[in-house]
């Protein structure tokens, strides 16, 4: 019989432009999460490198390639800690050298690459606080919806700016997802007003658990991120919220509770459009 509970953890990082240092911090926190009983660990976007596009291109790796230092390190973390590891977003080499994909990787507890997802929606904005970002200038968008299974749970993949596009999550739920993963590096300006609201909305409308691992604090090139790694239940209640520091938050998911929510308020069955 497939397991009906799942212990999950979201890692909060303050990644910099030193890949080796960032990966060492990831390994430390993945091990800590596993030590607390987590079977699934989510790393945020830009976990391995948070810096200039020029260097990001040089860090890009093709899939699969266990000779690549980032992929090798992730496989080892998953295997050593015996967890499913979802690594939020890293530069995957594309056909265009200057525009790698922003890709989430999923490893099983044996360290094997189980699934990957290329970020579909790219963050091109000019915010009121003066922040201007054009992710599409250095990134190739993905075009495929991806899920994977852990026991009775089906997990849907997304990355950061995807959070603002509910049709993606409708697509994941239509494919059977009951857990939604959102690794991110939300800016402070957008995060303070939208992060909690959007994550709770995705949980409520999808009647699914949501796990969001975030970057927090100051990064190179003047970037500052909001943090608040969150875990939300299918009713929209926040059951874990990281404080303003590097660390781990965790929670246990209960499939029976999720099914109870969906039975009591069967809005997924009432869809007409």
Q: What is the mean pLDDT of the chain?
A: 96
Q: Coil, strand, or helix at residue 164?
A: helix
Give domain 5-264's CATH number out of 3.90.1170.50, 3.40.50.10190, 3.60.110.10, 3.40.50.300. Answer: 3.60.110.10
Residue 112 reports pLDDT greater than 90: yes
User: For 217-229, how does the pLDDT look when each residue is reduced to its tens digit (9 = 90+)?
Assistant: 999 988 999 999 9
By DSSP bridging, strand 224-226 and strand 230-232 are unpaired
Q: Coil, strand, or helix at residue 72?
A: helix
Higher pLDDT, 58 or 133: 58
pTM: 0.96
User: For 210-262, how does the pLDDT look when each residue is reduced to its tens digit (9 = 90+)?
Assistant: 999 999 999 998 899 999 999 999 999 999 999 999 999 999 999 999 999 99
Residue 127 reports pLDDT greater than 80: no
Q: What is the DSSP string of 51-114?
A: S-HHHHHHH-B-SS-TTSHHHHHHHHHHHHHTSEEEEEEEEE--SSTTS-EEEEEEE-TTS-EE
Q: Are 48 and 90 in contact (CB under 8 A)?
A: yes
Domain ranges of the chain: 5-264
Q: Which positions are catalytic?
A: 45, 119, 160
Residue 129 reports pLDDT greater than 90: no
């Amino acid at each position: 019989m497939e397991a009906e509970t799942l212990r999950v953890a979201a890692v909060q990082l303050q990644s910099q432009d030193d890949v080796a240092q960032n990966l060492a911090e990831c390994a430390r926190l993945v091990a800590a999460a596993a030590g607390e009983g987590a079977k699934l660990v989510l790393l945020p976007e830009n976990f391995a490198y948070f810096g200039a596009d020029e260097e990001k291109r040089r860090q890009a790796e093709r899939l699969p390639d266990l000779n690549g230092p980032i992929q090798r390190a992730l496989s080892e973390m998953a295997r050593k800690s015996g967890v499913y590891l979802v690594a939020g977003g890293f530069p995957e080499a594309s056909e265009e050298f200057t525009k790698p994909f922003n890709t989430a990787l999923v490893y099983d507890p044996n360290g094997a690459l189980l699934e990957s997802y290329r970020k579909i929606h790219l963050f091109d904005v000019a915010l009121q606080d003066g922040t201007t970002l054009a992710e599409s200038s250095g990134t190739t968008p993905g075009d495929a919806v991806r899920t994977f299974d852990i026991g009775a749970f089906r997990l849907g993949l997304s990355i950061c700016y995807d959070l603002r596009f509910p049709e993606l999550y409708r697509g994941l739920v239509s494919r059977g997802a009951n857990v939604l993963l959102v690794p991110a590096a939300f800016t402070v300006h957008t995060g303070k007003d939208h992060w909690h609201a959007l994550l709770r909305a995705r949980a409520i409308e999808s009647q699914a658990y949501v796990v969001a691992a975030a970057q927090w604090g100051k990064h190179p090139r003047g970037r500052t991120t909001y943090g608040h790694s969150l875990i939300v239940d299918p009713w929209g209640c926040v059951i874990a919220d990281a404080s303003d520091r590097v660390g781990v938050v965790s929670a246990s998911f209960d499939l029976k509770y999720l099914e109870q929510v969906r039975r009591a308020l069967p809005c997924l069955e009432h869809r007409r459009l």
